[in-house]
Amino acid sequence: MSVGPRTLDDRAVRLFIALAAFLCVNAVLAEFIGVKIFALEDTLGIAPLQWNLFGENGSLSFTVGTLLWPFVFVLTDTINEFFGRRGVRFISWVAVALIVYGFLFAFLAIKTAPAGWWVGAAASQGVPDYQAAFAAIFGQGMWSIGGSIVAFLLGQLIDVSVFHRIRNVTGEKYVWLRATGSTAVSQLVDSFVVIYIAFVLGPQHWSTPRFLAISTVNYGYKMLAAVAMIPLLYLMRHAIRTYLGRAREQQLRAEAAAD
């Protein structure tokens, strides 16, 4: 008995799975490595810029997770372009579920009793208590976790909405405009919401000037990164067109625009 084409032989299905997988792994990884704060100026080997906003000042320090979020922006806009609102919303909910799942098992791992020999296994590397280090890295506060999840989901839903509003006005032209425009609005919300929940509502109770200053600096970084990633967006679009073929690519884009 002959069978028709297999679902996984469809290049559009394979593309969706690949984009979804990369977006989810970037989102989950950003949450887990985000516990580390790095100094941008020191990393680049330049003198501290010492920003001054709302009466607050400091150097350019960000969570390491910010290195991955620009890739999430590009993937979100690419999925938006070819699979529409439903594609982005579906993957966003999957990513949130995976983030929650990951943190749940991280907390379970912290609660397991460590082997006695393992606790001091890294003492020669300057880590006298492996269990304490493990708990500090993976046991992020609930306010930080909650803030990042809420901000991510809000940002994704806003991004998809603004992206299609711009697309309705510009048509298929100005890919860079709908990509950066949607990111500008979504990350404005994301940058302020995550810090407000984690550090204003959370136990640290930041002052309003500190909240506004650090949120603004984080937003500025994300926007500069988003602009810098525009060439990658066009490169991915060209690669997808080559992979799918012109006819299939146009079909997907038409379906996404009508979604």
Q: Give kind and range of the element (H or E) at residue 81.
A: helix 69-111
| Residue 237 falls inside a structural domain | yes
| Residue 219 falls inside a structural domain | yes
Name the domain count of the chain.
Answer: 1
| Residue 3 falls inside a structural domain | no
What domain range includes position 160? Answer: 8-252
In this predicted structure, what is the pLDDT of residue 118? 92
| Residue 69 falls inside a structural domain | yes
Rounded Cα–Cα distance for residues 178 and 194 (Å): 24
As a three-state string, the secondary structure of 138-175 is HCCCHHHHHHHHHHHHHHHHHHHHHHHHHHHHHCCCCH
Tokens of 86: 């439903």
Rounded Cα–Cα distance for residues 253 and 244 (Å): 12
**Contact at 8 Å (CB) between 66 and 221?**
yes
| Residue 259 falls inside a structural domain | no
In this predicted structure, what is the pLDDT of residue 96? 93
Q: Give residue-wise pLDDT tens across range 134-181.
A: 988 887 777 788 888 888 899 888 988 898 888 888 877 778 888 888
List residues bridging with 51 in a β-sheet: 58
In this predicted structure, what is the pLDDT of residue 56? 76
Burial zone of 34 (CB within 10 Å; 0-12 exposed, 13-18 middle, 19+ buried): buried
| Residue 169 falls inside a structural domain | yes
Enumerate residue ranges in the chain where pLDDT < 50: 1
| Residue 93 falls inside a structural domain | yes
Q: DSSP letters of 190-233? A: HHHHHHIIIIIISTT---HHHHHHHHHHHHHHHHHHHHHTHHHH
In this predicted structure, what is the pLDDT of residue 1? 47
Instruction: Indicate the DSSP class of residue 100.
Output: H
